[in-house]
Structure 1
Amino acid sequence: MATSDKTPELEYDYEALPSNYGLGANMLAGAFAGIAEHSVMYPVDLLKTRMQILNPSAGGLYTGLTNAVSTISRVEGVRTLWKGVSSVIVGAGPAHAVYFGTYEVVKELAGGNIDDGHHPIAAALSGASATIASDALMNPFDVIKQRMQVHGSIHKTITQCAKTVYRTEGLQAFYVSYPTTLCMSVPFTATQFVAYESISKVMNPKNGYDPFTHCMAGGAAGAVAAAITTPLDVIKTVLQTRGLAQNEELRSVRGLFNAAALIKRNFGWSGFLRGMRPRIISTMPSTAICWSSYEMAKAYFKKQLSE
């Protein structure tokens, strides 16, 4: 019987999950991607949170993105733009490890790696499964992050913030926004993964490692998904920062529909678009960084396995 002279590196396409490519390597690549993504774009995320607050204190009122940057830098100092970043760094690594680990496993089980064809259903299912798993881990860290981001926050460290929230509001405060987060993240991730896979197939039909393709496809996919899910992101911010609100109605808001009604009553339909620009501005490069970092780590591990 004739034997193949192909090297292991050529026996699988880039996007596939080879049999000797372990889940641990996928998770390590995902952790690297998550920390890189959130750390670099953190200041813009802080601006988004500040602009989505419904009833901010007097010093937390901004007329736009540029005004927010200049006001915060002048009054509170440039370092304020990074306040709470430690929560993201601590949570993003494990959460993204679970995220990409789940993505690769579900994608393999759903038949997304069978051939070089396009598999949008497998991509959407993989993305949805990944976000359900990772958000369960990340949600408490996201609550802590936003509590530290708002203007006038008294929280200095993630430990102190976590203890204060738990003592005053109980464990439920860390998960009150989880259903809303899933309502936002599942369509966001499903849309992002389908768009990313689709754009990648068009730009890079050979499925080879191509940093430009991964960067462009990731950024474009993130922008589309961010714009579509902004209303749910506003609701999530209202729920996650309710404990800091001075308005009693805001402090007692309890769920997705209650928060949505409150936003509509106070700000009309335009209230659901608060912070859309900084959300898109932060999401485009962050998803580009995330996918580029993840694919770079994957390429590195696969190269090591082929040697």
Structure 2
Amino acid sequence: MASEDVKTPESAVSTIVNLAEEAKLAREGVKAPRYAIISICKSLVAGGVAGAVSRTAVAPLERLKILLQVQNSHNIKYNGTIQGLKYIWRTEGFRGLFKGNGANCARIVPNSAVKFFSYEQASMGILYLYQQHTGNEDAQLTPLLRLGAGACAGIIAMSATYPMDLVRGRLTVQTERSPYRYRGMFHALSTVLREEGSRALYKGWLPSIIGVIPYVGLNFAVYESLKDWLIKTKPFGLVEDSELSVTTRLACGAAAGTVGQTVSYPLDVIRRRMQMVGWKDAASVVTGEGRSKASLEYTGMIDAFRKTVRHEGFGALYKGLVPNSVKVVPSIAIAFVSYEVVKDVLGVEVRISD
């Protein structure tokens, strides 16, 4: 009996491919809850690993992007990707390239886990409703439905981990020459709570949510739709059967990341600037001693857009876009492929596309 209990969850994996079959198993026996727990854990682990691997691989570019986003146009230290990376290396050493990555991974691991898991659940739910609405049990997700599922996943994941994102941003812009305010992630969280209140942990949340809808939505929609198109049409001999090679999947992920970040990037800039509001040392850390703290104060998202464009021009909304583009291409690609590879290793047969 004990051996049967061990085998049952694994054998059940291959039988559960949608919400209807999950409900059927739940009605027929008590093994369904055990499967659900195992499946959830595997999916969360795969998403977390994918996030950690992909973000660490591009940590130097992530830090440079944030420094470019928040620096003052009258006190330029970082002029581009190569120069910026060299400047960080020269002034802060190798460790400076990965500053804030610990807090970043602490945020991205749960964020990625929740995001991928939420997308799977949202996709199954939306597909089930779509099949019921159309009366066609063989109906598949359309690109628009995938966009909706991705948007839901992005909103849930961003909201759940947003305080970590704010703290990561503040840790990242600190340099060796800056007056240190935060010794680490937990110290930063407690300091913000004590000095600025709990609402400060969600500064810039609105543009983040607005930005995450096209960003995550397009990432999933483009990735899944592109994979589906390649499998069905098999162009240029890229696909021999129903499986795509790792290289092809990386290319799909790169295309998805490029489209998503280009559309949502201005909102990311505004979010990052709003996160710096209330940080007493932000003026000297970010904008230079010649600028007053008031230049960093915004009453809201629209005000931040207006002041940024008025004082620095429309191009300021795309500060850091080049290193971000260089970062996004491998990051999103690695995240998608890592997620699928880890799920294969863990023996989960149901993938995102399914």
Give me the TM-score of the superposition, normalised by structure 1. Answer: 0.87
Preserved contact between residue 201 and residue 207 of structure 1 (Cα < 8 Å):
no
Aligned pairs for 1:2-151 within 5 A: 19=22, 22-55=39-72, 61-111=77-127, 115=138, 117=140, 119-150=142-173, 151=175
One-letter amino acid matched to 2:184: T
One-letter amino acid matched to 1:297: V
The structural deviation recorded for 1:55 is 2.8
The structural deviation recorded for 1:111 is 1.0
Q: Does 1:295 align with 2:340?
A: yes
Equivalent in the alignment of 1:3: none
Equivalent in the alignment of 1:245: 282
Report the secondary structure of 2:347's partner residue: helix
Preserved contact between residue 127 and residue 141 of structure 2 (Cα < 8 Å):
no
Preserved contact between residue 59 and residue 101 of structure 2 (Cα < 8 Å):
yes
The match for 1:280 among 321, 325, 345 is 325
Preserved contact between residue 139 and residue 174 of structure 1 (Cα < 8 Å):
yes
One-letter amino acid matched to 1:146: G
Equivalent in the alignment of 1:178: 205
Preserved contact between residue 222 and residue 283 of structure 1 (Cα < 8 Å):
yes
**Count of residue correspondences:** 296
Preserved contact between residue 235 and residue 260 of structure 1 (Cα < 8 Å):
yes
The structural deviation recorded for 1:254 is 3.1
Q: Does 1:214 align with 2:249?
A: yes
Equivalent in the alignment of 1:160: 187
Offset from partner CA, 1:11-42 (integer Å, 9 cap, x none):
788xx788557222222211111111212111
One-letter amino acid matched to 2:230: M
Name the CA shift for 1:84/1:45 in 2 (closer, same or farther; >3 Å). same
What stretches of structure 2 of length at least 5 have no aligned partner? 1-10, 23-34, 132-136, 233-240, 284-291
Name the CA shift for 1:266/1:201 in 2 (closer, same or farther; >3 Å). same
Q: Which moved more, 1:211-220 or 1:229-238?
A: 211-220
The match for 2:217 among 190, 204, 208 is 190
One-letter amino acid matched to 2:250: C
Q: Does 1:231 align with 2:266?
A: yes
The structural deviation recorded for 1:289 is 0.8
Offset from partner CA, 1:113-162 (integer Å, 9 cap, x none):
96585521321121111111111122111111111111426133112222
Name the CA shift for 1:135/1:223 in 2 (closer, same or farther; >3 Å). same
Preserved contact between residue 147 and residue 153 of structure 1 (Cα < 8 Å):
no
- Quote the sequence identity (%): 25
Name the CA shift for 1:219/1:29 in 2 (closer, same or farther; >3 Å). same
Preserved contact between residue 203 and residue 213 of structure 1 (Cα < 8 Å):
no
Preserved contact between residue 54 and residue 238 of structure 1 (Cα < 8 Å):
no
One-letter amino acid matched to 2:344: A
One-letter amino acid matched to 2:201: F
Equivalent in the alignment of 1:255: 300
CA RMSD of aligned residues (A): 2.7
The structural deviation recorded for 1:304 is 7.9
Aligned partners of 2:93 and 2:118: how far apart in 1? 40
Name the CA shift for 1:208/1:116 in 2 (closer, same or farther; >3 Å). farther
Q: Which has the larger radius of gyration?
A: 2
One-letter amino acid matched to 1:93: V
Q: Does 1:264 align with 2:306?
A: no
Aligned partners of 1:250 and 1:139: how far apart in 2? 24
Name the CA shift for 1:284/1:304 in 2 (closer, same or farther; >3 Å). closer
One-letter amino acid matched to 1:178: W
What stretches of structure 1 of length at least 5 have no aligned partner? 1-6
The structural deviation recorded for 1:10 is 8.1
Aligned partners of 2:242 and 2:345: how far apart in 1? 15
Name the CA shift for 1:105/1:233 in 2 (closer, same or farther; >3 Å). same
Report the secondary structure of 2:63's partner residue: helix
Name the CA shift for 1:188/1:304 in 2 (closer, same or farther; >3 Å). closer
